[in-house]
Amino acid sequence: MPLDGLTLSFVARELQFLLGGRIDRVTQPEKDMIVLLIRAEGKNCRLLISASPSMTRFHLTEQTYQNPPDAPMFCMLLRKYLLGGRIQNLEQLYGDRLIRLVIDNRDELGESGPRELWFEAMGRHSNLTLVKDGRIIDALRHVSPDMSRVRTLLPGLPFEAPPRQDKLAPNEVTNEALWARLHGQTGPLKKALAASVSGLSAVSAAELTLRLTGLSEPRIEEIDLPVFCQKAEELFARLTALSPAVVLTDDSGARVDFFPFRYFSFPQEAQIPCASLSDAMDRFYTGRDRLDRMQQKTASLRKNLRNHIERNEKKLLLQEDALRDAADAERYRLRGELLSAQLYKVPKGANQVVLDNYYDEQGISVTVALDESLSPAQNAQRYFKRYRKAIAARKTAAEQKEKTLAELRLLEEALLDLEHCETQEDLAEVRHTLEEAGILKREKGRARVKRPAEGKPLSFQTADGFTALVGKNSAQNERLTKSAAGDDVWLHAKDMPGSHVIVRTEGRPLTDAALLDAARLAAFYSKARGVSVPVDYTLRKYVKKPAGTPLGFVTFVNNRTLLIDATEADVRRLQESV
């Protein structure tokens, strides 16, 4: 669910132990994400603040993030004003999606003073603003007067906090105050509650309504309002004591949401308790944020590849047409030879002639079309010329078709590789492969470089304790297969783009259960995405790399084939066992 004020209030309370903590490091791994390394209570904590429109969040994280080679300007400013400072205050305001961090630090003259970091979790309007002495030093997102007539966020201007909504903060909910807002209203109670109390998303309002009434969709006119308001006062007073934070999963085990406490409005068995709300949020967002950002980073390249594939498919149709036309070569040769042998039968000025076909066992005659302006001998030479041209065209079209098919294979492999990208190294390897093949031009201003840093293959633990490695792109497939031992098992989806899978046997015989797990990986990380996929497998020593072939291309013998299905739940099970 979106990070609402109710959830953010639990986060703010949970992070109070950071007060007095020292900010030792500031990084900006993404344009809308800041990570503060804070030393508090004898341990290092990473506070992640993301103003991403779709992944807005504020919590501690155990994840590590790759930082750009050069720190962005906003990151440099934060380092200047916050490094070495100590956190004086961390508070949520008005029960809304607004956090204020106060950091005490010394300036260039050695004088101490507070700096404020304001985090606004407002969806596509989310922002992070650094303020000193009431003025904006800088903001993650600048808001000009043209963008908003209500509130401008530009360096040097006075900072104005977002206007408070006309709602009760959760700590202001009393019997009388809530009754005054709900009295006389009609309609769904959860909507009226969300409109009366700040920080409640639709999901949170529905949960609190269920807890207070025992009903999932009550209307205001159907309940005893005074009793409801009294219960609401009591519930909001003890909200802080509710625990533990949970992650909600679906039937396949995928994490689909997180809550600050168990929600009665969802199946209890689907809610996994966590050590803290930060832990729950970290579990929920792990992988999801990286996948979302990688989808954004690869969108342009993905579109480019699809355009190349479409052009090559059209080119292939033209080349196949040319090959069909070239199939008439033998017909041209036959007519040339028959004309040369029977010139005496051709009447002067004729536009066609019927000739005996010496090559036909049944002696069926052949009608040969003629150019009236040419002599019989010249007509024969005309047919021989068309024959030679058709032969040349057939050879050229066949060569072009082979090149087009090879490029199509490379493009489809690259398109699949983009789905498997998890890091900048993975993406750089895919781009480098396409640049080396001449499909992509190098970006302007970027000097020719050696091969990019090598990305790492995916690692899984199969049944019976075998390690299975999965290449995420053609370059990784090549390295993975090349470095495998002869007795390791190699797997690949049959006759389609997909990942190479290597099972490290370390001299042990591979069990049937481990083989099936590895085959599921090969099926899932293929173009067929795990639906009825034939998977070839053999020992690595039977896999060869022909000279001059593209990255990841191999031939193999002594293989067997399994037909198998694979689901995301299967892959997740193998991932979690690592």
Give residue-wise pLDDT tens across range 314-330.
Answer: 999 988 887 876 767 87
String of DSSP letters for 194-248: HHHBTT--HHHHHHHHHHHHS-SS-BGGGS-HHHHHHHHHHHHHTGGG----EEE
String of DSSP letters for 374-434: S-HHHHHHHHHHHHHHHHHHHHHHHHHHHHHHHHHHHHHHHHHHHHH--SHHHHHHHHHHH
pLDDT at 177: 95
What's the rounded Cα separation, in Å, for the pair 389 and 326? 8
**Bridge partners for 563 per DSSP:** 534
What's the rounded Cα separation, in Å, for the pair 99 and 190? 25
What's the rounded Cα separation, in Å, for the pair 274 and 258? 10
pLDDT at 1: 61
End-to-end, the C-alpha distance of the chain in Å comes to 29
pLDDT-flagged residues of the chain (< 70):
1-2, 109-110, 325, 327, 443-452, 576-578
**Ramachandran area for residue 156 (φ above 0: left; ψ -120 to 50: alpha; else beta):** left
User: Of 285, 248, 297, 301, whose CA–CA distance to 54 is shortest?
Assistant: 285
Alpha carbon of residue 558 to chain centroid: 36
Alpha carbon of residue 398 to chain centroid: 38
Contact 460/448 with Cβ under 8 angstroms? no
CATH 3.20.20.70 corresponds to the domain 5-139: no
- What single-letter DSSP state applies at residue 132? E
Q: pTM value?
A: 0.73
Where are the chain's structural domains? 5-139, 170-285, 307-419, 458-576
**Ramachandran area for residue 20 (φ above 0: left; ψ -120 to 50: alpha; else beta):** left
